Amino acid sequence: MQSLNTLFETRQANSHSDLNARYEALIQAQPKLRRRNAADLLAVAEAQLLEAQCGLSSLRLDNRFAEMIYDFPQLGYLMTLTRNDSAVHERKGIYDNVSINGPMGLVITQDRKIDLRIIISRWHAGFAVLEQTPKGPRYSLQFFDNTGDAIQKIYLQPESDLQAYQTLLEKHLTVKPDTLVLAAQHDEQTYLTDAEVDSVSLKRDWRDMRNVHQFFGLLKKHQVSRLQAFRLVGEPLAQRFDASRLEGLLDDIAKSDLSIMCFVGNRGNIQIHTGPINIVRSMGPWLNILDDEFNLHLLTSNIDSAWLVRKPSADGDITSLELYDGAGETIAQFFGQREEGNPENTTWRHFAERLLEAETNLEVEA
């Protein structure tokens, strides 16, 4: 059996392409530039940089994504990364308890270390990637949507099973991969204007919810975006807060034993952390959680609005803190940890509602 490195070497693409030359020049000028940002500067999709072997060695995988995901538990301990334009969510653990039904998939391990909601119908291309780093070779699996934006990246750790990784590659490699074809942009979802929405009915249906998962159906029924719904139902169901206060909130939570849930997603995957947090630190425009098995990186300069949202359920109101960018896309959401059938943790609710109290005090002082 050939070695793992040899497997990558025998499938090298043309490293002398114009894109590769432009990438190398850019990295020479900005050595710390991340590949996603380099793709933006080069006006290409990130997946195209992998296809052209820019700064790495990559292998195209087939599109049997569901079958592949069922093989991930064999890799052992790993790190899974899900991001959007404004947030990066990294979680370490072992894939387990995989369940896939048609276009949707779930991964919810018993220890909740790996907790994913996967929209497989939006997965378009996958790569096995080898990068040479000062600490040695770094192996990963990276998946992209039809515009070449990253959906999920899985990085092997020192404890991971390299033999299982090689077996997975040999099972899913494309012998003669087709040219990567990408769409220019995502399909735009259309909504009613505020004036066209029956806001009285929207508010009534919101108050009649018995499960937070009914919220998606509510948005679809009324043909509104999340931010439209927030604006139209108003207080106390949805209230804006000052996003600059988020760091203080996370600091306070880190000093407590409160267990929270943090959601970050994109078009093809939602990744969830459940548990306490410990280290909160700002670095430039980034607000970070830097724990051993969970990292969160929030680009605070991209936060256009922040909301405290209350959704009714059979167990009482469920409170979330939600961050949105200027295009109305969800950046991240925070909840208190809660088991279905139990009321919300009152400590979490107290922490969240303090953001509104501080906002009110500011208005009074002004």
Residues 19 and 79 in one domain: yes
- Whether the per-residue pLDDT at 366 is higher than 60: the answer is no
> For 59, how many CA atoms within 13 A lie in the half-sphere containing its CB?
25
Residue 315 lies inside a defined structural domain of this protein? yes
Residues 205 and 314 in one domain: yes
Residue 111 lies inside a defined structural domain of this protein? no
Opening angle at CA 348, ends 241 and 211, nearest 5:
90
Residue 140 lies inside a defined structural domain of this protein? yes
Residues 83 and 139 in one domain: yes
Domain extent at residue 218: 194-365
Read off φ and ψ for residue 269, nearest 5 degrees.
-165, 145
Residues 305 and 336 in one domain: yes
Residue 107 lies inside a defined structural domain of this protein? no
Cβ neighbours of residue 295 under 8 Å, at least 6 residues apart? Answer: 88, 89, 90, 288, 289
Chain segment 63-99, per-residue pLDDT in tens: 999 999 999 999 999 999 999 999 999 999 999 999 9
CB 156 within 8 A of CB 76: no
Residues 17 and 159 in one domain: yes
Task: Name the burial class of residue 22, with classes exposed (0-12), middle (13-18) and buried (19+) by CB atoms within 10 angstroms of its CB.
Answer: middle
Average pLDDT rounded to a whole number, residues 130-157: 96
Residues 271 and 342 in one domain: yes
- Whether the per-residue pLDDT at 220 is higher than 50: the answer is yes
Residues 247 and 212 in one domain: yes
Query: How many domains does the chain fold into?
Result: 2
Confidence of residue 362 (pLDDT cuts 50, 70, 90): very low
The Cα–Cα gap between 275 and 283 comes to 23
Residues 249 and 140 in one domain: no
Radius of gyration of the chain (CA): 22
Residues 209 and 168 in one domain: no
Computed over every residue of the chain, the mean pLDDT equals: 93
Residues 165 and 200 in one domain: no
pTM over 0.85: yes
- Whether the per-residue pLDDT at 304 is higher than 70: the answer is yes
Among candidate residues 330, 263, 280, the one with its CA nearest the CA of residue 82: 263
Residues 261 and 228 in one domain: yes
Chain segment 20-67, per-residue pLDDT in tens: 999 999 999 999 999 999 999 999 999 999 999 998 999 999 999 999
Residues 29 and 160 in one domain: yes
Which CATH number goes with the domain that contains 49? 3.40.1570.10
| Final residue before a domain boundary, out of 113, 137, 172 | 172
Neighbours of 67 (CB within 10 A): 12
Calculate helix-pair angle for 214-222, 199-207, nearest 10 degrees: 170
